Amino acid sequence: MKPISDIFPFLEEPKNIVITFHQKPDADAMGSGLGLYNFLIQFGHKVTVISPTNWASFLKWMPGAKKVINFETQNDKAMKALAEMQWLFCLDFNVLSRVKNMEAPIREINCTRILIDHHQQPEVAAFDYGISDTDKSSTAEMVYDFIVNSGNIKKINTDVSECLYAGVMTDTGSFRFDSTSAGVHRMVAQLKDAGLNHSQVHENLFDNFLENRFRFFGNILLNRMEIFYEYNTALIAIPQQDLIKYNVKTGDTEGIVNFPLSIKGIKLAAVIIDRGDERKSSFRSKGGFDVNTFARKYFNGGGHFNAAGGKNTETLEEVVKKFKEAIKENKEQLNS
């Protein structure tokens, strides 16, 4: 993978570009993708944003979101854009399996593949150019760096700033995580200068949920949360029947894993959700417990040191059993 700065001289030549990101995109995936989209269209490129799956309704306000193609439900349109692309930007994921059914076309179609990502152990062999930096708070921050370093700071307009702010704000836990460097705050100052209305972005992201989501939270906190004080660990295991009963939609489960992490003494919080086709897990830790390694070892996943996820094909009961055995094996680290 060659440095991303090698493509700067070619930015001005109009071309067909596709931007994609990980399945079930969060605000950083969608925000970095649409931030880059709103930047690149200013050069006259034909830019298509393709999401491997559907996305949460709280992301639909983002400038350009209405043009995003869902690979699963608009497959013909997506395949046509992929067949015509010259450049492909892959944002906010480290391994190609994170784009689900888009993996095969991405591997096979002849184009220049460019990675911008902050996850650990990226599959660098799959990319021609790119930047991977695990010290970065968010992919949105990296897209901001890409724009600034290519000499195009003046192209950061209100649309770009809203998308990038959504990514950096959510991936830093509203500027609370260690990854929130002075550079992150300088970036936000620059976005404000470019016309960002940050309180509107917070409202768009956090104040548009339906009542059912909070009834669902009430249910899982009361009935599905187990605390293992011996291991400083909390687990919420959610059966599929709960998702059906409370009409839970994509995005409604985001943030659940943070509830148990707020309990005094808890160092590891996990949520395992039976989504029907797979058991999806989310892990968060405080301090020195490495959930990236934990997710890789037991749950076919990965991510960051303090935030990771995984997926399993076994039943929910089996995955829960696996989790309980895994924390026993890691007792020493969870108690240190």
Query: Applying CB under 5 A, which residues contact Mn ion?
Result: 28, 92, 139, 171
Q: Which of 134, 175, 192 is nearest to 308 (CA)?
A: 134
239-252 burial, b at 16+ Cβ within 10 Å, e below that, comes to: eeebbeebebebbb
Select 92 or 274, whichever has its Cβ closest to Mn ion: 92
- Tell me the sheet residues that pair with 50: 20, 69
Single out the segment in contact with ligand 5GP by CB under 6 A; choices: 42-50, 66-74, 306-314, 325-333. 306-314
Q: How far apart are CA 141 and CA 164, in angstroms?
A: 7
Q: Which of 1, 11, 79, 95 binds ligand 5GP (CB under 6 A)?
A: 95
Shortest distance, position 302 Cβ to ligand 5GP, whole Å: 3
Shortest distance, position 28 Cβ to Mn ion, whole Å: 4
311 belongs to the binding site for ligand 5GP (CB under 6 A) = yes
Conformation bin of residue 265: beta by default, left when phi > 0, alpha when psi is -120 to 50: left
Token duo for residue 312: 């399993």
Select 111 or 307, whichever has its Cβ closest to ligand 5GP: 307
Shortest distance, position 320 Cβ to ligand 5GP, whole Å: 17
270 belongs to the binding site for ligand 5GP (CB under 6 A) = no
**What are all long-range contacts of 278-281, with beta carbons under 8 Å and residues at least 24 apart?**
278/311, 278/312, 278/313, 279/311, 279/312, 279/313, 279/314, 279/315, 279/316, 279/319, 280/309, 280/310, 280/311, 281/309, 281/310, 281/311, 281/312, 281/319, 281/323
22 belongs to the binding site for ligand 5GP (CB under 6 A) = yes
52 belongs to the binding site for ligand 5GP (CB under 6 A) = no
Shortest distance, position 282 Cβ to ligand 5GP, whole Å: 3
Residue 136 binding: pick among Mn ion, ligand 5GP, none (C-beta 5-8 Å cut-off by kind): none
Select 33 or 64, whichever has its Cβ closest to Mn ion: 33
List residues near ligand 5GP by CB under 6 A: 22, 95, 98, 119, 282, 301-304, 307-311
